[in-house]
Amino acid sequence: MNAVRKRARWLAPAAVLLALAAVISARAEIPLAERRSGYADLAPDTKAMQDDDTSNPGMLAVLDGEALWKTKAGNAGRACADCHADARVSMKGVAARYPAFEPTLSRPVNLEQRINICRTERQQAQPFASESKDLLALTAFVGMQSRGQPIAPPADERLRPFLDAGREAFSRRLGQFNLSCGQCHDDNWGKRLIGNIIPQAHPNGYPLYRLEWQSIGSLQRRLRNCMIGLRAEPYEYGAPEYVSLELYLMWRARGLPAETPAVRP
């Protein structure tokens, strides 16, 4: 990979970091009362973009999703709407409690995967590819039906080992920088890093419109970006490691209002 060559530039700063990172003492999880959405850290014009549906580009994906919701597909020739009727009713609060345990797979699935299960089993159609326009659009449309609802991870004992795995991954040191997610997002949130405010890393706005991407993207894409930022090898899209992290992030964000489709820098 050409990335390896480019990485050379990083060795010097990374060495400094390795030495210094050891000094950081890990703090506990953010107290519930101090938790705040990434929205709180946005500049006024980015907030304004999210606040007004007609200026939020994420809404373009929601409109695409609404059209797909009503489109018949697959060998079954059924649309999502044929079984789930009005999404405003049937999908209200659903996104706020994903990832959820999927008994047929004996593991949790996130909302994208849950939609693809209906896509393959109920519609008998090809699954949508990860990060494809259609999957993001449907996820954003379903996600928006939970807007304003509190994040409510299911109290399902079967999720426990996956939640623990996600928590462990969040505090594991990664990549050349040898930093854990928690060292930034639990211990240093609110401080600035290369001009960006370090947010608390809540998943309550996804899929969201990221200015950096110039498009809408999933939580996994965001997690990938943070891993790449740490010079760690990201997992494949859909990997169980991501789903466990997502589950932990949702648990960590419990009670915060869903904002899909949010806007972030």
Partner 1 sequence: MTDKRTENLATRRDVLASAGSLVGGGLVSGLGLATISVAHAQAQSTPAAMALAIHKIAGEATVKPGKVKLDMPPLSENGNSVSLTVTVDSPMTPANHVKAIHVVTEKNPQPYVISVRLGPRAGQANISTRMRLSDTQIVVAIAELSDGSFWSDTRTVIVTLGACLEELI
Partner 2 sequence: MARALINVPAKAKRGEVITIKTLISHVMESGFRHNQIGVRIPRDIITSFTCTYNGEEIFQADLHPAITANPFIAFTTIATESGTIAFTWRGDNGFSAAESVNITVE
Binding site for partner 1 (CB under 8 A): 3, 6-7, 9-10, 12-14, 16-17, 20-21, 23-24, 42-46, 48-49, 131, 177, 179, 183-184, 188, 191-196, 198, 211-215, 222, 225-226, 228-229, 231, 265
**Per-residue contact string for residues 154-193; x = within reach of partner 2 by CB under 8 A:** ----------------------------------------
The SS3 call for residue 197 is strand
In the list ligand HEC, partner 2, partner 1, none, the entry touching 165 (Cβ below 5 to 8 angstroms by class) is none
* 14 contributes a contact to partner 2 by CB under 8 A: no
Q: Where does 52-132 have alpha helices with state H?
A: 58-69, 80-84, 87-90, 111-117
* Residues 12-51 within binding reach of ligand HEC (CB under 6 A): 38
For residue 60, give Cα distances in angstroms to 55, 137, 215: 10, 8, 10
* Residues 214-233 within binding reach of partner 2 (CB under 8 A): 214-215
- Contacts of 27-32 with CB under 8 Å at 24 or more apart are 27/186, 27/187, 28/186, 29/186, 29/252, 30/186, 30/189, 30/200, 30/252, 32/255
d(CA 204, CA 238): 19
* 60 contributes a contact to partner 2 by CB under 8 A: yes
Sign of the dihedral through C-alpha 147, 153, 159, 161: positive
Taking CB under 8 A as the criterion, the residue among 16, 22, 63, 83 binding partner 2 is 63
For residue 132, give Cα distances in angstroms to 28, 53, 181: 37, 22, 27
The residue among 53 and 236 lying less far from partner 2, judged by its C-beta, is 53
Taking CB under 8 A as the criterion, the residue among 54, 75, 104, 106 binding partner 2 is 54
d(CA 2, CA 18): 23
In the list ligand HEC, partner 2, partner 1, none, the entry touching 252 (Cβ below 5 to 8 angstroms by class) is none
**Distance between start and end Cα atoms, the chain:** 28
* 53 contributes a contact to partner 2 by CB under 8 A: yes
Kindly state the smallest distance separating residue 216's Cβ from partner 1, in Å. 11
Kindly state the smallest distance separating residue 100's Cβ from ligand HEC, in Å. 6
The SS3 call for residue 129 is coil
Place of tokens 């040191």: 173
In the list partner 2, ligand HEC, partner 1, none, the entry touching 199 (Cβ below 5 to 8 angstroms by class) is ligand HEC
Kindly state the smallest distance separating residue 160's Cβ from ligand HEC, in Å. 19
The residue type of 129 is: A
Q: Are strands 107-109 and 196-197 parallel, antiparallel or unpaired?
A: unpaired
Taking CB under 6 A as the criterion, the residue among 84, 92, 158, 231 binding ligand HEC is 84
The residues that touch partner 2, with contacts defined as CB under 8 A, are: 2, 52-55, 57, 59-60, 63-64, 214-215
